[in-house]
Amino acid sequence: MIFRLDERLLFPDPAMADPDGLLAVGGDLSVERLLLAYQNGIFPWFNDELPILWYSPHQRFVLFPDELKLSKSMRQIMRSGKFTVTCDRAFNAVITACSSVKRAGQDGTWITEEMKAAYIRLHQLGYAHSIEVWQENNLAGGLYGVQVGNVFCGESMFSHESNASKMALVHLCHSGLYRLIDCQVYTAHLESMGAGMISREEYMAALKSGR
């Protein structure tokens, strides 16, 4: 059963999501609603043709930082000094790049103007963060997401240069700030770096223990 949200600041039990993880429709992208969503293992994912859709997958694709796998070539890139990495230096530029990068198998983007504005507000209030990867003062790649205690809920990443987004993820894992990184959606390259599936129950336990 898919629930329709109204002006009240609440969500149904995430365990009631349908098999694809879709839990609810409607509501808004206010700071308060977004924070409540992330604290309960829920995130928005939709495009301009659809109302706001809220998901809580029954299994989460996550990466534990101490299980990060680095290839020999990635280690060489890290030692080479090819990239410089910063945090929260260019959040707006990162989310804009994530919204405009072409992705295989995707027509358009789910990072709408409404979504961008909502996450920029979260960033301004200290809840959303970006990792920037620079090459010769040019933004080569990066990622952004929402922090819930010691869990980083990754939203999107991009690369203009090969391995730049991987560099951002490595920096996030090595920061020592997070016990778990929520990757949300399966990708083969994140799996190759150590990400895997856990149950919603495991994920919720990690969220609650880090608050």
The pLDDT of residue 211 is 57
- Residue 19 pLDDT grade (very low, low, confident, very high; cuts 50, 70, 90): very high
Q: Quick one: tokens of 21?
A: 């993880």
> With pLDDT > 70 as the criterion, what percentage of the chain qualifies?
95
| 132 and 84, same domain (yes or no) | yes
- Which structural domain, as residue segments, surrounds residue 36? 3-57
Stronger pLDDT, 104 or 36, i.e. the higher one: 36
Q: Quick one: tokens of 133?
A: 């990867």
| 44 and 76, same domain (yes or no) | no
| 70 and 33, same domain (yes or no) | no
Tell me: pLDDT of 108 over 80. no
| 74 and 35, same domain (yes or no) | no
> Which residue in this structure is represented by tokens 């358009």?
108
Please give the Cα distance from 34 to 145 (Å, whole number).
Answer: 12
| 43 and 136, same domain (yes or no) | no
pLDDT of 25-73, one tens digit each?
A: 999 999 999 999 999 999 998 877 788 999 999 999 999 999 999 999 9
| 25 and 125, same domain (yes or no) | no
Beta strand pairing status for 22-26 and 3-5?
parallel
Tell me: pLDDT of 194 over 90. yes
Given 19, 35, 57, which residue is the final one in a domain? 57
| 69 and 53, same domain (yes or no) | no
| 133 and 157, same domain (yes or no) | yes
Given 57, 84, 103, which residue is the final one in a domain? 57
Could you please report the per-residue DSSP string of 130-193?
A: EEEEEETTEEEEEEEEEEETTEEEEEEEEESSTTHHHHHHHHHHHTS--SEEE--S--HHHHHT
Tell me: pLDDT of 24 over 70. yes
Q: Measuring CA to CA, which residue among 27, 2, 5, 6 is closest to residue 17?
A: 2
Domain count, the chain: 2
Query: Average pLDDT in the 2-11 region?
Result: 94
Q: Measuring CA to CA, which residue among 91, 86, 19 is closest to residue 55?
A: 19
Local structure of residue 67 (DSSP, 8 states): G
Q: At what angle do helices 31-39 and 113-124 cross, to 10 degrees?
A: 80
pLDDT of 131-169, one tens digit each?
A: 999 999 999 999 999 999 999 999 999 999 999 999 999
CATH number, position 48: 3.30.70.3550
The pLDDT of residue 209 is 84
Query: Average pLDDT in the 17-22 region?
Result: 94
Mean pLDDT for the chain overall? 93
Tell me: pLDDT of 15 over 80. yes
The pLDDT of residue 210 is 67
CATH number, position 144: 3.40.630.70
The pLDDT of residue 44 is 94
- Residue 105 pLDDT grade (very low, low, confident, very high; cuts 50, 70, 90): very low
| 68 and 94, same domain (yes or no) | yes
Global model pTM greater than 0.85: yes
Reduced to 3 states (helix: H, G, I; strand: E, B; else coil), residue 86 is strand
pLDDT of 114-135, one tens digit each?
A: 999 999 999 999 999 999 999 9
| 187 and 97, same domain (yes or no) | yes
Given 22, 38, 57, which residue is the final one in a domain? 57
* Ramachandran area for residue 134 (φ above 0: left; ψ -120 to 50: alpha; else beta): beta
| 23 and 100, same domain (yes or no) | no
CB atoms within 10 A of CB 182: 26
| 171 and 69, same domain (yes or no) | yes
